[in-house]
A and B are shown apart, each in its own frame.
Chain A
Amino acid sequence: DAGVTQSPTHLIKTRGQQVTLRCSPKSGHDTVSWYQQALGQGPQFIFQYYEEEERQRGNFPDRFSGHQFPNYSSELNVNALLLGDSALYLCASSMYRIYTGELFFGEGSRLTVL
């Protein structure tokens, strides 16, 4: 049973560039949530996708956008990169109708902005 997979694992960008991160949820899951984890901090909720729509959003600017595909996989896009966007980006999957705090996380995409 494949868990949550994310790509790429590491990437380096320069300020002003754009980046796309990808996530495939755990088999059987229909919901993807994205988190940003700065070094030494806990993960912060960016947004959640279900049925190809953004359902909830955290306190992140519009430069952060996403998409969910019919196969439940998801992308996170960040435009006009800032140095402060350097972080580990985590994808977590779950079942939308099941109320639980148990999210399944991928290993993350480490973004460095120079």
Chain B
Amino acid sequence: GESVGLHLPTLSVQEGDNSIINCAYSNSASDYFIWYKQESGKGPQFIIDIRSNMDKRQGQRVTVLLNKTVKHLSLQIAATQPGDSAVYFCAEGPPPSNTGKLIFGQGTTLQVKP
């Protein structure tokens, strides 16, 4: 079946360094991906999305890269801050017929060391 997975359950980085969180997917027909951040005690929060007609998309301090050949995407966070400490999920985007259904991976916990 379809699945979205992350490579590492935990990533520890020094404050000010760049962070890279990786994600693999299995469904070659997938064409829309989203990254969410979940802080402790809160619901997931949208960070950035990317569609399959793009290889790269940038936001504020974040960049998502999509490699369709190897079915891999990554989230890069520049100048990581303590407030970036959270669990990060990649998710496969909803089909046009159901805008509420996302398929989430298991998550990577980002720990930022001061």
Contact present for A102 and B46 (CB under 8 Å): yes
Of the stretches B14-22, B54-62, B72-80, B88-96, the one at the interface is B88-96
Picked from A45, A56, A108, the residue with its CB within 8 Å of the CB of B43 is A108
* Alpha-carbon distance A6/B93, docked complex (angstroms): 24
Q: How far is the CB of B73 from chain A (nearest CB, A)?
A: 13
Q: How large is the interface on B (under 10, 10 to 19, 20 to 34, 35 or more residues)?
A: 20 to 34
Looking at B91, B94, B100, B101, the one whose CB has the most chain A CB atoms below 10 A away is B100
Query: Chain A binding site: helix, strand, loop or mixed by DSSP?
Result: loop
Which of B43, B45, B94, B98 is the most central at the interface, judged by chain A CB atoms within 10 Å of its CB? B43
Given A41-B106, A44-B104 in contact, is the A103-B98 Cβ separation under 8 Å? no
Scoring A33, A58, A103 by chain B CB atoms within 10 A of each residue's CB, the highest score goes to A103
The answer, among A31, A33, A43, A107, for a CB contact under 8 Å with B104, is A43
The chain B residue with its CB closest to the CB of A42 is: B104
* A106 CB contact (under 8 Å) in B43, B102, B104, B107: B43
Query: Does B28 lie at the interface of the complex (its beta carbon under 8 Å from any beta carbon of A)?
Result: no
